């Protein structure tokens, strides 16, 4: 249970004064749905109103504050669409305040003639006269709550004004409870950091641009809190797993040797090394939780297969999970040639298995007649039971949630877990996303791959590109055509993809297909299968293209509005082609003119196909928050921490978290109690649940 002291923070933002349901929708878009989200939304800029020159010295275009006397009102004649003017002055000169569509009675009330007023806004020179249109503030200098000389500016969304957002955040801050310190006193002192409450206040009261920098002390303190919560949660989850002892799986190597002999290729050094790490883990009686990272086409499947063979050699079973039916079938097909030499039985279980046939499979699995089971989500179903499941391999892990990972590992007596991903993740990010796993990497590709000819072309050349694809299709080549990511709206994505589908149909007839995120899994699989069989020449897709699908005949990748995709995403998309004998190409269609970042991205893609290099560059270009793309879940998105700028803090948080768990594994000391609150504050309830009640 979340500590009651945090309740005010976890209330819905509609609990805040002045925030109704309509505003709540907008504020949720900008900050988040709960009060705590607003407190953790950092200002992105600051308005400095502290500059107070005389009217004569006031420069145009800069925000400033003037102390003036209201001389007279100059209302436009009735019915004329002229602005309302108020003439003011100080000892140095005159300034005219200008209001369009103003209400005279309101202006007369707040700017009575003869009164002194503080006004703030931007001055402009208009035909030689000084004027200020719609000042941001006009107040009595003796009024008790004068306007702030420094104003934080928050991220906004269409329809939400800076003032409304600022007020909501201010209200949210009022609800921040006083919490006991969870950070180590010595470390706080060494860093000269304030306590949580003070740091939070400081974050939201910037006075200079330096105060909103990622390096500002308050921001660093709060980022450290977030990173510590992340690292602590990961270590707790990992410890809970390791604590549940695994078993030592050691095969005699006979089946592996037989398959190795039958393979048409030799494993690369990277594959060999990763496999050795995996086999070591399996042989130890600690439970394996390992991530195998390797770029698309680096040959992860065969590594997983060898690990599965080791389990079978030891008399146990293995399961290999794929995110889609078609991928599961592909695994089965690619491994089928080796079943006889290894003398093993392999089967597949997917959502398509029904009734008696399914029951027969389940019986075989439970009896141990199936050595290696390849499957989809269907394997998670409760009635699927193994005789002795020793190894679970999850391919393309970001399609599966943590909960599914856990559900599957409950199907055996604490099976070893191998997770495989083709998303190369920079070291720094790997620590935050996968801190609960050991990591093996395959950094090279099998020899002999042809480079992919990558080009960029403006959208204006769309017709040329279509003609080129048509020529290739007439020769039997296949193409992927990825449609733009429009904002974050799936609906708009879809419209764009459907429009392209219609326009390409005119050229390609029924040899064009469409897959998108709103289709059911089996509809998607059907289209993908038709593509796989070569019945479709051009496959139009939103970004849902099945990760890992192998269509060796597909040699062309077109990405429309490539400037809207992240670097890593483009690399992933490009990795769909270049898998067969024929030369492949990737055409990045962009909307001119290209921004600097988009241009840099395209340049990097043209220069390299090394996924790790690309991932590092992506991180550098985009900042950590964006690297993995909004579409990919399962990775933490930090509110305040930035793994690039706060890299050192991340390393420190990692060490700190390790030490905490060594000394106080159940978080029972006073600091431990405070740390539980920290975990809840950053919504790591999953980690707290692994602790015994405090």
| Interface contacts to Mg ion, rule CB under 5 A | 548
* Closest CB to Mg ion among residues 300, 500: 300
What token pair was written down for 438? 């050991």
Q: Which residues are registered as beta bridge partners of 481?
A: 540, 558
Smallest distance from ligand ADP to CB 264, Å: 8
Select the span of 272-280, 292-300, 564-572, 655-663 touching ligand ADP (CB under 6 A): 292-300
Residue of 259, 274, 302, 319 interacting with ligand ADP (CB under 6 A): 302
- Please report whether residue 333 would count as binding ligand ADP according to CB under 6 A: no
What token pair was written down for 190? 């060494």
Q: Strands across the sheet with 538-541, in order?
A: 453-458, 585-590, 554-559, 478-482, 538-541, 512-515
Residue of 49, 117, 247, 300 interacting with ligand ADP (CB under 6 A): 300
Cβ neighbors of 483 (< 8 A, separation 6 or more) are: 493, 496, 497, 500, 540, 541, 542, 560, 561
Q: Do strands 453-458 and 438-442 pair parallel, antiparallel, or not at all (unpaired)? A: unpaired
- Please report whether residue 446 would count as binding ligand ADP according to CB under 6 A: yes
Please list, residue by residue across 515-541, b when 16 or more beta carbons sit within 10 angstroms of its beta carbon and e when fewer do.
bbeebeeeebbbbbeebbeeebbbbbb
Smallest distance from ligand ADP to CB 303, Å: 8
Please list, residue by residue across 97-135, b when 16 or more beta carbons sit within 10 angstroms of its beta carbon and e when fewer do.
bbbeebeeeebeeebeeeeebbbbbbbeeeeeebbbeeb
Interface pattern 543-582 for ligand ADP (x via CB under 6 A): -----x-x--------------------------------
Smallest distance from ligand ADP to CB 331, Å: 8
- Please report whether residue 294 would count as binding ligand ADP according to CB under 6 A: yes
Residue of 220, 231, 301, 555 interacting with ligand ADP (CB under 6 A): 301
Contact 575, 559 (CB under 8 A): no
Smallest distance from ligand ADP to CB 40, Å: 37
Cβ neighbors of 520 (< 8 A, separation 6 or more) are: none
* Closest CB to Mg ion among residues 424, 548: 548
* Closest CB to ligand ADP among residues 223, 335: 335
Any long-range contacts for 460-464 (C-beta under 8 Å, 24+ apart)? 460/592, 461/589, 462/589
* Closest CB to ligand ADP among residues 160, 437: 437
- Please report whether residue 297 would count as binding ligand ADP according to CB under 6 A: yes
Select the span of 54-62, 208-216, 266-274, 375-383 touching ligand ADP (CB under 6 A): 266-274
Smallest distance from ligand ADP to CB 548, Å: 6
Smallest distance from ligand ADP to CB 566, Å: 19
Rounded to whole angstroms, the Cα distance separating 206 from 218 reads 10
Residue of 267, 425, 479, 678 interacting with ligand ADP (CB under 6 A): 267
Quick one: what does residue 222 bind among ligand ADP, Mg ion, none, with the CB cut-off 5 to 8 Å set by partner type? none
Rounded to whole angstroms, the Cα distance separating 521 from 352 reads 11
Cβ neighbors of 593 (< 8 A, separation 6 or more) are: none
Select the span of 260-268, 428-436, 501-509, 671-679 touching ligand ADP (CB under 6 A): 260-268
Select the span of 11-19, 157-165, 277-285, 294-302 touching ligand ADP (CB under 6 A): 294-302
Please tell me whether the peptide bond between 593 and the residue prior to it is cis, using omega within 30 degrees of 0: yes
User: CA angle 208-211-214, nearest 5°?
Assistant: 140
* Closest CB to Mg ion among residues 547, 628: 547
Smallest distance from ligand ADP to CB 419, Å: 13
- Please report whether residue 375 would count as binding ligand ADP according to CB under 6 A: no
Q: How far is CA 661 from the centre of its chain?
A: 28
Which one, of 86, 92, 163, lies nearest residue 117 by Cα?
A: 86
Residue closest to ligand ADP when measured from CB atoms:
299
Residue of 296, 326, 408, 429 interacting with ligand ADP (CB under 6 A): 296
Rounded to whole angstroms, the Cα distance separating 392 from 412 reads 9
Residue of 100, 265, 360, 633 interacting with ligand ADP (CB under 6 A): 265
- Please report whether residue 497 would count as binding ligand ADP according to CB under 6 A: no
Select the span of 16-24, 300-308, 428-436, 656-664 touching ligand ADP (CB under 6 A): 300-308
Smallest distance from ligand ADP to CB 330, Å: 8
Smallest distance from Mg ion to CB 265, Å: 16
Please list, residue by residue across 662-693, b when 16 or more beta carbons sit within 10 angstroms of its beta carbon and e when fewer do.
eeeeebeeebbebbbbbbbbbebeebbeebee
The residues of the shown chain that bind ligand ADP, judged by CB under 6 A, are: 265, 267-268, 271, 294, 296-302, 422, 446, 548, 550
């Amino acid at each position: 249970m979340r500590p009651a002291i945090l309740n005010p923070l976890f209330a819905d933002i509609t609990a805040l004064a002045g925030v109704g349901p309509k505003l709540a929708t907008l504020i949720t878009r900008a900050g988040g749905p709960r009060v705590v989200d607003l407190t953790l939304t950092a200002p992105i800029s600051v308005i400095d109103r502290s500059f107070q020159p005389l009217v004569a010295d006031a420069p145009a275009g800069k925000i400033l504050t003037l102390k003036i006397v209201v001389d007279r009102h100059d209302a436009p004649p009735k019915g004329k669409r002229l602005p309302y003017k108020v003439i003011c002055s100080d000892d140095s000169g005159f300034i005219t305040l200008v209001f369009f569509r103003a209400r005279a009675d309101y202006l007369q009330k707040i700017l009575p003639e003869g009164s002194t007023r503080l006004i703030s806004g931007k001055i402009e020179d208009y035909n030689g006269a000084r004027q200020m249109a719609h000042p941001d503030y006009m107040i009595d200098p003796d009024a008790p709550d004068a306007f702030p000389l420094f104003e934080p500016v928050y991220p906004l969304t269409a329809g939400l004004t800076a003032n409304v957002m600022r007020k909501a955040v201010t209200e949210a801050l009022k609800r921040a409870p006083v919490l006991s310190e969870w950070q180590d006193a010595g470390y706080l002192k060494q860093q000269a950091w304030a306590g949580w409450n003070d740091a939070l206040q400081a974050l939201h009261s910037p006075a200079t641009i330096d105060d909103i920098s990622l390096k500002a002390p308050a921001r660093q303190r709060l980022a450290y809190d977030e990173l510590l919560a992340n690292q602590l949660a990961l270590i707790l989850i990992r410890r809970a797993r390791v604590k549940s002892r695994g078993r030592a799986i050691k095969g005699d190597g006979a089946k592996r040797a037989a398959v190795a002999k039958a393979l048409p290729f030799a494993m690369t050094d990277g594959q060999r090394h990763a496999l050795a790490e995996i086999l070591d883990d399996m042989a130890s009686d600690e439970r394996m939780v390992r991530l195998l990272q390797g770029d698309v086409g680096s040959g992860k499947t065969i590594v997983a297969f060898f690990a599965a063979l080791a389990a079978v050699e030891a008399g146990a079973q293995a399961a290999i999970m794929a995110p889609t039916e078609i991928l599961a079938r592909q695994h089965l097909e690619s491994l089928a040639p080796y079943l006889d030499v290894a003398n093993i039985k392999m089967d597949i279980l997917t959502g398509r298995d029904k009734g008696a046939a399914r029951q027969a499979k389940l019986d075989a699995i439970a009896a141990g007649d199936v050595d290696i089971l390849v499957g989809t989500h269907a394997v998670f179903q409760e009635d699927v039971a193994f005789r002795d499941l020793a190894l679970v391999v999850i391919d393309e892990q970001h399609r599966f949630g943590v909960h599914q990972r856990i559900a599957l590992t409950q199907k055996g007596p604490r099976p070893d877990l191998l997770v495989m991903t083709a998303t190369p993740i920079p070291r720094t990010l790997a620590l935050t996303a996968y801190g609960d796993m050991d990591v093996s990497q395959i950094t090279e590709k099998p020899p002999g791959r042809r480079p992919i000819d990558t080009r960029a072309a403006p959208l204006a050349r769309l017709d040329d590109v279509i003609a080129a694809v048509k020529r290739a299709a007439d020769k039997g080549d296949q193409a992927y055509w990825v449609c733009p990511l429009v904002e974050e709206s799936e609906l708009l994505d879809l419209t764009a993809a459907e429009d392209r589908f219609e326009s390409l149909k005119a050229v390609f007839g029924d040899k064009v297909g469409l897959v998108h995120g709103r289709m059911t899994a089996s509809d998607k699989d059907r289209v993908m299968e038709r593509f796989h069989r070569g019945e479709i020449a051009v496959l139009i897709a939103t970004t849902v293209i099945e990760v890992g699908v192998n269509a060796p005949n597909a040699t062309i990748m077109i990405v429309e509005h490539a400037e809207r995709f992240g670097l890593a995403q483009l690399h992933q998309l490009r990795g769909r082609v270049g898998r067969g004998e024929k030369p492949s190409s990737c055409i990045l269609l962009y909307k001119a003119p290209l921004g600097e970042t988009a241009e840099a991205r395209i340049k990097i893609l043209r220069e390299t196909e090394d996924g790790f290099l690309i991932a590092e560059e992506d991180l550098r270009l985009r900042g950590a928050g964006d690297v993995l793309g909004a579409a990919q879940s399962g990775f933490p998105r930090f509110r305040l921490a930035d793994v690039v700028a706060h890299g050192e803090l991340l390393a420190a948080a990692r060490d700190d978290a390790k030490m905490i768990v060594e000394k106080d594994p159940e978080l029972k000391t006073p600091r431990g109690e405070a740390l539980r609150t920290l975990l809840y504050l950053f919504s790591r309830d999953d980690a707290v649940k692994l602790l015994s009640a405090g």
